[in-house]
Amino acid sequence: MTEQELLQKIMELDFYIIDLHLYLNTHPEDADAIGMYNDAVLQNRDLRAEYTQKYGMLTSNHCVSAVPWQWIDSPWPWQKAANFELREENV
Amino acid sequence: MNETIPATPAAGDCVPLETPIEDVKLARAYVPVQVRCAVFTPAVSLTKGTAFPPLWNDCFLRTGGVIDD
């Protein structure tokens, strides 16, 4: 995956996890939803690790850095590299 | 130097949190319990703003943001 594809996958899973989290707050016995939540969290963890290894730090406080310090090389939120049009899949 | 912040400003500056109203009927609100069915994929969820199809309303897209009564 390219950097942008990887970043988009992470953003999609971040949102998906938040929405399932909110649902589970009111449906704590829904085992299927907990399974979907857990799968998404594990997949997101792998993708974040892959992104960090290939392209640098995603967040400033929860990622390890190679030398030199990588945070300053990541795209800033206002740069085009961090803003792209979302692709809908499987609609 | 004070080390604490007063919980409320001076009484004379307070705005009442609730303005009492009289001679009106109370409203009732009902929030149906969400029933989960199929969910959108993560990619579609992000574009629609929800993972749950019943919570997605495309009326604004269909009408260009105009809703007729």
- What is the rounded average pLDDT of the residues A3-14? 92
Question: How large a percentage of chain A has pLDDT more than 90?
Answer: 53
Which pair of structure tokens corresponds to residue B38? 């199929």
B44–A15 C-beta distance less than 8 A: no
Residue A29 confidence (pLDDT) above 90: yes
Q: Which of A51-55, A68-72, B14-18 has the lowest mean pLDDT?
A: B14-18
Report the alpha-carbon distance of residue A56 to residue A81 in Å, rounded: 14
- Asked if the structure places residue A87 within a domain, the reply is no
Give the model's pLDDT for residue A91.
38
CA triplet A52, A47, A27: central angle to 5 degrees?
130
Q: Has residue A88 been placed in a domain?
A: no
CA distance A16 to B52: 10
A40 and B CB contact within 8 Å: yes
**Residue A90, in any domain of the structure:** no
* Collapsed DSSP state (helix, strand, coil) of residue B33: coil
A25 or B9: which leads in pLDDT: A25
Nearest to A40 by CA among A20, A68, A22: A20
**For residues B5 and A63, which has the higher predicted lDDT (pLDDT)?**
A63
In which band, very low, low, confident or very high, does the pLDDT at A80 lie, cut at 50, 70 and 90? confident
**pLDDT for res B33:** 87
- Please check whether residue A33 touches B, CB under 8 A: yes
Q: State pTM to two decimals.
A: 0.72
A7 and chain B in contact, CB less than 8 A:
no
User: How confident is the model over B8-49, as pLDDT tens digits?
Assistant: 555 566 666 666 777 888 888 988 888 888 999 999 999 889
- Report yes or no on A59 lying in a domain: yes
- The minimal CB distance from A90 to the residues B36, B41, B46 is found for B41
A91 within some domain: no
Contact B46 A11 (CB under 8 A): yes
B69 pLDDT above the threshold of 50: no
> Nearest by CB to B51, which of A19, A26, A86?
A19
Is the complex ipTM more than 0.90? no
User: Count of CB contacts below 8 A, A vs B?
Assistant: 49
* B43 neighbourhood in chain A, CB within 8 Å: 8, 12, 86-90
Q: Which domain holds residue A17?
A: 3-82
Domain count, chain A: 1
